[in-house]
Amino acid sequence: MSNGFSDSEFFNPDNAEAKQKREMYATMCMENMLDDLKESRINVGFLDATNSTKDRRRYMLDLIQNAGFDIPNVFILDISCTEGKLVNYNITSKAFNQDYQGKDIATSISDFKRRSEHYYRVFEPLSPQEITEYKNVRRLSIQNGGKTFVAPRDGQEDSMCEVEKLLAAFVTNYYKLYGERYHAAVEEFYNFAFGNGI
């Protein structure tokens, strides 16, 4: 969809032109996914997007609810990172991803920090009340690499579809499967960078 490198200015909430493009891309992705579901080209769809505001989430859910065909289950997988140590590690790691290919590390880290600052300026945490007005929408959550999570409680399995059971198992076991390794990498990074971590 987009050609070339987009620096942090593309994510500046005061940049009206960039905001319009971000909304357009999110809408296009959702509409393409809904069309694929409607035409049975796929059975399960994932919208991987930074839906960081109530307005964006409401708009995406409205597109689903008004798609013109039945979508029996909608799951919001809410992934967040709030620990400063983890955030700094993630920012440093981003300097090596495709967005910053060919850029020097210091410039990349500085740019992604600004991108994160833009994100947090408008960020609105997802609340359970947001989704109560929509049918068949449920929330699962992973915070700080799986240290805390929100998943269906024990005893609810009988009312869960197979996809929800799989997602609940993924969320519940995330720390053991991925989080421990992630947190170990964070500690190794800080030990290497600062001697004994922080």
The DSSP bridge partners found for residue 140 are 77
**Number of domains composing the chain:** 1
pLDDT at residue 197, rounded to an integer: 47
CA distances from 19 to 22, 68, 72 (A): 5, 27, 31
End-to-end CA distance of the chain: 41
CATH of the domain at 68: 3.40.50.300
Does 2 reside within a domain? no
Q: Which domain holds residue 40?
A: 8-194
Tokens of 99: 């967005």
Q: Flag whether pLDDT at 1 surpasses 50.
A: no
Q: What is the DSSP string of 78-107?
A: EEE---HHHHHHHHHHHTTSGGGTTS-HHH
Contacts of 44 (CB under 8 A, 6+ apart): 163
Where does the pLDDT of residue 160 fall: very low under 50, low under 70, confident under 90, or very high at 90 and above?
Answer: confident
